[in-house]
Amino acid sequence: MHYRLSVGNATCAIPGFTNAHIQAAVDRCALLGGGTVELSKGVFRMADSLHLRTGVAVRGQGEGTVLLKNPMKTARLTSFLGYGHRDLEVDKPGLFKPGEGVLIRDNNAFGFYTTVATLVRREGDVWITNRPHHHDYLAANGGVVETLFPIVSAEGIADAVLENIRIEGNRRHNPVVSNGCRACAFLALNADRITVRGVTVRDFNGDGFGFQTCDHFLAEDCRVETCTGNGFHPGSGSNHFIMRRCTARNNKGCGLFYCLRVRHGLLEDSLFEKNGSFGISVGERDTDSINRNLTIRLNGGAGVYIRPCLRANAAHRTTIEGCTLERNASGKNEADAEIILQGETNGLRVIGNTIRCRPGKPGILIRKGTPPCVLKDNRILSTARHAVLDQRLASR
């Protein structure tokens, strides 16, 4: 049986506008074997992540259904927290409440070494979390606890759906940049067959959508705007993702950043516009990706940037096909061309693209040391001396 529960306004099965109200419905559907949680229009205040569950779909009413992150609170650690522990001792224990999501870190912890958890109870001045710490954290190393977390989390699950929802990061009241490995606005981690459709992320202090060690992640008709990190972050060890009709606009990082060992991705019919760094960046062990029918324009760095990796780590067999690139490379760093091909990268294919360059910029730059690649049927409008600048030729 497929269960349905509604959350939000007074006519819903569970009336209320917090993450706890949504979570109660999601967890009940999961316990009953799966189902759909329907959110009404309104603003849901998020003190912790919405934790998606296996077999449960969460559907909103489009832009009118808003998940708004609560203002960030922070306290300093006052003791040594060990790996595998669950206790927290901080200088302001009364600042927090049970059920709040927190990020634990110090100056030696970054990436996956930070911990995102939920406060479950207080014992005197000691808080207990729902999961063990991923690392050692020291007060002497600037250890802090902050109410930072993915606004929506899909961790260790399968076959979950999020549709027709707006996620608001409330950046003004969340001044610390969130960790892209642990706390994007939407984060999938160690998950399979997760679908996001018609989801908008705005104003988050960090990456918009991130998925790490996931298989068969599907994103359709999603947008990321005015975030301080990357728009989309296909992450470490993910395979066979599909992204269609997505948009990343006016973010400070890349429109889309392929992270470490992302393989067999399909990115198509999407827009990357006015982002501070590259339109798309592809690098360490990111192999066998197809990037087609994209519009990439007015980004600070190159429209497509193949990172300069040695052979063992290079983005082999990357395809850029049927894309339109316009007036990228407006910044100072790695802004030498619309497309930059480099590294000991085999099997690069740049086919059938339309490229309109900024004055004096080449359409395609191939740096020294790049293996043979396929350039075919590209239409390049450039005032540079060489529309395709192949620096390998100068070394012959």
Span 257-309, pLDDT tens digits: 999 999 999 999 999 999 999 999 999 999 999 999 999 999 999 999 999 99
Amino acid letter, 49: S
pLDDT in tens, 112-155: 899 999 999 999 999 999 999 999 999 999 999 999 999 999 99
Report the mean per-residue pLDDT for the chain: 96
pTM of the model: 0.96
pLDDT at 21 over 70: yes
Across 48-63, average pLDDT? 98
Confidence of residue 324 (pLDDT cuts 50, 70, 90): very high
pLDDT score, position 395: 55
pLDDT in tens, 74-106: 999 999 999 999 999 999 999 999 999 999 999
Domain map (residue ranges) of the chain: 74-146, 150-395
Confidence of residue 394 (pLDDT cuts 50, 70, 90): confident
Q: Which residues pair with 3 in a beta bridge?
A: 35
In 169-313, DSSP assigns E strands to 186-189, 195-202, 209-212, 218-220, 223-225, 232-234, 242-244, 247-249, 256-257, 266-268, 271-273, 280-282, 290-292, 295-297, 304-306
Q: Is 148 left (phi over 0), alpha (psi -120 to 50) or beta?
A: beta
Instruction: Look at residues 273, 265, 263, 252 and name the one whose alpha carbon lies nearest to residue 180.
Output: 252
pLDDT score, position 90: 96
Kindly indicate whether the domain formed by 150-395 is annotated with CATH number 2.160.20.10.
Answer: yes
pLDDT score, position 57: 98
pLDDT score, position 1: 64
pLDDT at 335 over 90: no
pLDDT score, position 352: 98
What is the C-alpha separation between 194 and 160, in angstroms, rounded?
Answer: 5
Confidence of residue 334 (pLDDT cuts 50, 70, 90): confident
Confidence of residue 27 (pLDDT cuts 50, 70, 90): very high
pLDDT score, position 25: 97
pLDDT score, position 205: 97
pLDDT score, position 331: 81
pLDDT score, position 2: 84
